[in-house]
Structure 1
Amino acid sequence: MRHPLRAVLLAIGLVLAAIGPALAVQPGERLQDPALEARARALSAEIRCMVCQNQSIDDSDAQLAKDLRVLVRERLSAGDDDDAVRDFLVARYGEFVLLKPRFEGHTLILWLAAPVLVAVGALASFLAWRRRARVAADGRLSAEEEAALARVLSEDQRGMP
């Protein structure tokens, strides 16, 4: 009887999580021009909410996110292009406001660290595998290992009836 209740609660939770971002942009914030509104929504999806930090301002219902959504729409209505709006927000809040940082000199480590670490891990795994394969292929015991094995086997045979 518990399992159907869990399934219902999980379904309700998933529905609420799915509609949460849809409630972030209020009807009063939307622009009349559908093309401008589409640009505003696309830009809002790229801008980090400074309160929530792992959400875009398009998904967040924080007051600062609302203020930033309104600011983005005001700048677009004033005739700014998308890059000008991004530049304005970066100048005001820093590079952190962008969910996807720009590929520049000071953000180079953000872009290159993950691929370099994956490559180093893959190389280390390959070298460990190759070393293990070489030892397994050789299959011979050293003189010390053979002596130790002979000693264990002779002790084992003496102890058996």
Structure 2
Amino acid sequence: MRAWLAALLLCLAGAVSAAIQPLEFRDAEEEARFRALTAELRCVMCQNQSLADSDAQIARDLRLQVLELMREGRSDEEIKAYLVARYSDFVLYRPPVQPRTWLLWFGPALVLLAGLVVVTVVVRRRAAAAPATPPAEDEQEW
């Protein structure tokens, strides 16, 4: 029984240390490129975290994959294209402007414009419904 418990604890300790162990870079240039690239990519599991900021296991796997692709000699654009092919434009923090992403890019402006139109219509209706002549001085408003 103790042997099984010791084996289980040893396996858990190995898994935890593997998850915490930082990546090793060849030089400062590779590290800077890696950090810049992972900051531009979104974790596919998290709501709004970059690949660099996420603690999810898939983010760790993707960081390792990005580093591996960098070491294969691929450019940043090739790495992004590879990830977009697998995970769609969602993986990019700044997806390209194309017909299928117009709502993403222009949706907030359309909502703001619609809000301005609604406010303008409401203000004009209230102004038209208000009495045109001010009350006499001796009359009370209430």
The TM-score, its normalising length taken from structure 1, stands at 0.62
Paired position in structure 1 for 2:10: none
Q: 1:102 pairs with 96, 103, 126, which one?
A: 96
- The size of the alignment, in residue pairs, is 117
User: Residues 129 and 121 from structure 1, CA distance in 2 versus in 1: closer, same or farther, beyond 3 angstroms?
Assistant: same
Deviation of 1:52 after TM superposition, in Å, equals: 2.3
The worse-fitting range, judged by mean Cα deviation, of 31-40 and 79-88 is 31-40
Q: 1:113 pairs with 107, 111, 123, which one?
A: 107
User: Residues 69 and 60 from structure 1, CA distance in 2 versus in 1: closer, same or farther, beyond 3 angstroms?
Assistant: same
Q: Secondary structure at the match of 1:70?
A: helix
Paired position in structure 1 for 2:31: 37
Within 2, Cα distance between the matches of 1:113 and 1:51?
Answer: 23
**What RMSD, in angstroms, separates the aligned Cα atoms of the two structures?**
2.4
User: Residues 45 and 85 from structure 1, CA distance in 2 versus in 1: closer, same or farther, beyond 3 angstroms?
Assistant: same
Tell me the alpha carbon deviations over residues 92-117 of structure 1, each in whole angstroms, 9 at most, x when there is no partner: 22222223322112111211111111
- Residue 63 (1) aligns with residue 72 (2): no
* Bigger helix fraction: 1
The TM-score, its normalising length taken from structure 2, stands at 0.69
- Residue 134 (1) aligns with residue 124 (2): no
Q: 2:80 pairs with 86, 111, 115, which one?
A: 86
Instruction: Give unmatched runs, 5+ long, in structure 1.
Output: 1-24, 141-161
Percent of aligned pairs with the same residue? 41
